[in-house]
Structure 1
Amino acid sequence: MSERVPAPGGLALVQDLVNTLNLESGADSLDTAEGRARFGLTGERETAAARELREALRAALLAHAGHPPHRETTPLDVLLAEAPLVVTVGTDGTTTLAPADPRPLTSRVAAAIAEALVAHTWPRLKACEAPDCHWAYYDRSPASRGRWCSMSSCGARAKMRRYRAK
C-alpha cells in the first residue's frame, strides 16, 4: 500500500476512515472493538452507517483521481445532509464551520470536508487507481496528478503490467 503519510488537518479523519478496509486482504478494522472505538462507534447501527459513509467517501476519492466508483454507493451529499454544520465565531473574530453535534462520525467528516473545501485541499485526497487497493492518499505532487497510493508498490505493479503487455 502506501507510505501512509497522513493527510493534512481534518482530512486525516477521512483518510483513516476510508483506509479501515483493506480491499486486497478483505480485513476491515471496523470489525474490531479497537477499530470501532477509534471513530467513537458504539453500536451495530453506527458501524453500518460508518461503512456506508466509508464507501461513499471512497467513491468521491476515486472521482478526485478521475476514476469511476468501484461499486454502487449512497451519494455522499445525501449522507452528509444528515450532519448540519454551524458557523462559530470566536471572541477574536475567527470563524469556523463546526458540526452542530460533534458526536456522530458523519458530523465530524462533514466538518473535515468543509475545512478542506475552504483550504482547497479536498480534491487532493484521492483513492489509488489500483482496483485491488483503492487506498486513500493525499496527493502531494505539484500538479496534483498522482494516480497511486505509492509508486513503490501499486505504481510499480501497474507500470510493470503495462510493460509486459507490450
Structure 2
Amino acid sequence: MSERSPAPGGLALVEALVNTLDIESDVDALDREDVRARFGIGADGLAGARALRESLRATLLAHAGHPPHRAVTPLGDLLAAAPLYLAVDERDGSAALRADDGPLLSRVAGAVAEALVAGTWTRLKACEADTCHWAYYDRSPAGRGRWCSMQVCGARAKMRRYREKVR
C-alpha cells in the first residue's frame, strides 16, 4: 500500500477504485455497503464494478510494463458501453466531456478521457509486486516508478534480489 498522495483530477477515482482490493490480505472493501455507496454502486452493480476494477488494474500494470496477473475483460470493451456527453458552455463556447453524476462506468470513462487530454493517463500505474498491485500515480521525473512504496514493496524486492545474489 502506498503512502503517496492521490492521483490528480479524475484519476483519483480510478486509483481509489483499484485500491478497494488489498491483494496481500485478500480484503475487498467493495464488500462493505458504505464503500459501495461512496462509489455509487448498488447491490446489482457489484459484479460489474469488480470487473471494471480488475480491468483497470490490468491496464495500470501494462502502464508499468508488467503483464496482467489474470485474464480480464479488456478495458476498452467495458468503457465502450459508458454513456458520456459533451457539454458546451453557451457563454464562452468551451466544451467538456461530462459524466460527473452518471454511473461509475461513465465517471471512470470521463476520468480516463480527461487524463488522456492532460497527458497523465500512463502515469497511473499498478505496483510491480505480485502481492500488491496497488494503484499509484507515478510522480517520478522520468515516469519509470515500479512500486507503490519504496519503503515497503521496493525494499522487499531489493532485499530479495540481494539475497539471491549473495547465495
TM-score between both structures, scaled by the size of structure 1: 0.96
1:75-86 maps to which residues of 2 (within 5 A)? 75-86=74-85
Unmatched segments (≥5 aa) in structure 2: none
Query: 1:98 Cα deviation (Å)?
Result: 1.3
Distance 1:84 1:103, change over 3 A: closer
Partner of 1:161: 160
**One-letter code aligned to 1:131:** D
CA distance in 2, matches of 1:77, 1:5: 27
CA distance, structure 2, for counterparts of residue 7 and residue 85 of structure 1: 22
Aligned to 2:106: 107
Q: For residues 101 and 65 of structure 2, what CA distance do their matches in structure 1 show?
A: 31
- Show the counterpart of 1:55: 54
1:123 is aligned to 122
**Cα deviations across residues 18-69 of structure 1 (Å, max 9, x unaligned)?**
00000000011100111111101122x3011000000000000000000000
RMSD (Å) for aligned C-alpha atoms:
1.1
Separation in structure 2 between the aligned mates of residue 96 and residue 24 of structure 1, nearest angstrom: 39
Pairing of 1:120-159 with structure 2 (within 5 A): 120-159=119-158
1:92 aligns with 2:92: yes
Give per-residue Cα distances to partners, 1:96-138, cap 9 Å, x unaligned. Answer: 1113x83210000000000000000000000000000000000
Question: CA separation in 1, counterparts of 2:38 and 2:57?
Answer: 19
Q: For each residue in 1:116-161, what CA deviation from the matched residue of structure 2 results, as whole angstroms up to 9, or x when unmatched? A: 0000000000000000000000000000000000101000000000
Describe the SS at the equivalent of 1:96. Answer: strand
Percent of matched pairs sharing the same residue? 70
Kindly report which structure 2 residues correspond to 1:15-34, keeping only aligned pairs within 5 A, or say none.
15-34=15-34
CA distance in 1, matches of 2:101, 2:69: 30
Are 1:42 and 2:31 an aligned pair? no
Q: CA deviation at 1:92?
A: 2.1
Structure 1 residues 102 and 82: alpha-carbon distance in aligned structure 2, compared to 1, 3 A threshold: farther
- Find the residue that maps to 1:30 and give its secondary structure: helix
What residue ranges of structure 1 are gaps of 5+ in the alignment? none
Deviation by residue 1:82-104 (Cα, 9 ceiling, x = unmatched):
103222111222211113x8321
Q: Cα distance, 1:5 vs. partner?
A: 1.4
TM-score (norm 2): 0.95
Mean Cα deviation higher: 107-116 or 89-98: 89-98
